Amino acid sequence: MKTRRDVFQAIADPTRRAIISLIALQAMTPNALAEHFDSSRQAVSKHLQILTECDLVKQNQQGREIYYQLEVEKMKQIDDWLAQFRKIWETRFNQLDDVLSTQKKLKNEQ
């Protein structure tokens, strides 16, 4: 039985993140994508296979060509997961800002 790949393992690879960035702008064929990398078309195809298995990209057949495009809904799931941490970071940065403002006021009063 084939194990399902984890989306976060997929986006951990810099080449796959670059592929996502490229196809976020427009759907592309494997050959067009391969032109952007110093690796073989086969290596790019392997990355596309992993991204497809994670539902981050989907294939669209147009004639004899297969175009890969970003699966926006899956990217939104990643963003939703990160949002919980974004709220924590924002709260901590606001607390730090309050502390620094207080220290600056105290220093100016001296």
Burial of 56 (0-12, 13-18, 19+ CB in 10 A): buried
Q: Stretch 26-50: mean pLDDT, rounded? A: 94
Q: Stretch 65-93: mean pLDDT, rounded? A: 90
Q: Rounded to 5 degrees, what are φ and ψ at 29?
A: -85, 160
Under 8 Å between Cβ of 23 and 33: yes
Q: What are the Cα distances from residue 24, in Å, to 3, 19, 49, 57?
A: 26, 8, 17, 10
Q: Rounded to 5 degrees, what are φ and ψ at 6?
A: -85, 135
β-bridge partners, 109: none
Model confidence band, residue 1 (pLDDT cutoffs 50, 70, 90): very low
Task: Return the pLDDT at 28.
Answer: 96
Q: Stretch 41-58: mean pLDDT, rounded? A: 94
Q: Rounded to 5 degrees, what are φ and ψ at 23?
A: -80, -10
